[in-house]
A and B are shown apart, each in its own frame.
Chain A
């Protein structure tokens, strides 16, 4: 009984000490973690030196060397501005946003038409034999290399592979399909085109094999606005 009483008296302080000991270690670890991960980078943000003191001295402005430097900078600025502005053509150009599947048509540096389009699906088609195709619309600066009305689609190999069909010879009549590319096509090179579609419900979605699909009205407007040599910017 006597022993029991002694144990009961010690118990609360022992328990608290144990809890404190057990809490101390994780608390220390958390403190170290916060110190190294948050406090040190925050301390590094405290500026070590003073900021540049800006002056506006009238005497300096009269100095011929100063005037020469300012004139040189003004000349550089003008030259660079002129050069930079020359990059944006006054001619018509098309901008394609492949993330949101939108297009923007510009004429004389002004937006004249915008709307939905369909671009590459980012699917990679693989065969057991090891052949593969990636269906993505290439980004960057492209040039219209050719224009055609009532285009006929020449089915490439992947179109057969995708449907589980045997690949026919290159001059096989089954390769040629009219009325699937809409009324017009504009060639960008490397097999990529801007054309119409029979799958209009998919416009605004990434579903193509790399080409840019448009609805009939937008395609007509773009076909009539862009000429061979016009730029297409895809991002």
Chain B
């Protein structure tokens, strides 16, 4: 018995150390790949939206660092995006992160306004002077997918009565609604916009937001893992997380079409 134990212990240690090294290597590999993702995204955005020099009429690059130029360019980009949205005849959202204003618009007419209570965003949106970011924001984002805690259209199915004896007139509808309003919109350019209700009206609201957020984080982590373990740099999704009053968050979600558009100013 003693001999067996003595033989097994170094083996076990060896295996444990090997396992530890393998796990550590995998974690390191995972960290490196995921840390490369934002740079890859930044590079692809720069390639797509960065300034392209015209060989015939070369422009001095320093102009894109000038404060006056950049301020004017930011304004122009936002207006360009809003004008493009106005021409679609659809319900759109203009989000001004600089003054925390959010406006719901139909054909360029502001139909509802609210204020962001707070927001956070990816670092790349923090660099408000980056030419390529302003250039990217000159086109409205289009919603590709909605993940929400409330339905877009709260449809209720009612079967028609067979005859008058089965008919029951509608009683006063129950307009009290308690569901928390949290939703995530994945945009066509890879940006993800999170809208969470600010108030905690019920005991479970905070918990609901936590689990709602967690579910999406798990989904995102799974997507990243699939990319990393198939030897690809994962896609990085820049984000804008905003907190709105519940009523306004609900109005915006219900008003925006499934593939609605959003213009962002920062």
Contact = CB atoms under 8 A, between A and B. Distances in A.
Interface string A24-67: 00000000000111101101111111011111110011010110
Contact of A45 (B86, B123, B162, B217): B123
Interface stretch (A4-12, A95-103, A169-177, A213-221): A95-103
A20 interface: no
A162 B185 CA distance: 37
Interface stretch (A126-134, A181-189, A222-230): A126-134
A69 B163 contact: no
Nearest to B90: A140
B183 interface: no
B135 interface: no
Most buried by A among B59, B60, B109: B109
B148 interface: no
- Chain A interface helix/strand/loop/mixed: mixed
A126 B66 contact: no
B140 interface: no
Given A54-B65, A66-B63, A126-B157, A48 B217 contact: no
Nearest to A121: B173
B227 interface: no
Nearest to A206: B173
Contacts of A231: 109
A84 B42 contact: no
A7 B172 CA distance: 73
Interface string A133-148: 0101001110000000
Given A83-B83, A134-B155, A202-B172, A77 B76 contact: yes
Given A51-B126, A55-B65, A70-B68, A127 B160 contact: yes
B107 interface: yes
Chain A interface size, as a band, is 35 or more
Interface in B34-92: 34-35, 37-39, 42, 59-60, 62-63, 65-70, 72-73, 75-76, 79-80, 82-83, 86, 89-91
B154 A93 contact: no
A46 B65 CA distance: 23
Interface string B105-134: 011111110000000001110110111000
A235 B112 contact: yes
Interface string A74-87: 10110011011011
A201 B42 CA distance: 56
Given A47-B123, A98-B254, A205-B172, A40 B112 contact: no
Contact of B39 (A49, A60, A100, A165): A49
Contacts of A76: 76
B38 to A, nearest CB: 5
A124 interface: yes
Contacts of B163: 164
Contacts of B212: none
Nearest to B174: A205
A57 to B, nearest CB: 7
Contacts of B122: 45
A150 interface: no
Nearest to A106: B109
Interface string B201-227: 000000000000010011011001100
A175 B205 CA distance: 49
A125 interface: yes
Given A36-B221, A231-B109, 14 more contacts: A52-B65, A54-B70, A57-B66, A65-B59, A66-B69, A69-B69, A76-B76, A86-B108, A99-B251, A136-B153, A163-B167, A164-B162, A164-B165, A202-B172
Interface of A: 35-38, 40-41, 43-49, 51-57, 60-61, 63, 65-66, 69-70, 73-74, 76-77, 80-81, 83-84, 86-89, 93, 95, 97-100, 104, 121-128, 134, 136, 139-141, 161-165, 201-202, 205-207, 231, 233, 235
19 contacts: A37-B218, A41-B221, A43-B34, A44-B38, A53-B65, A54-B65, A54-B67, A55-B65, A65-B63, A73-B72, A77-B75, A80-B80, A81-B79, A99-B254, A104-B111, A124-B158, A126-B157, A205-B175, A235-B91
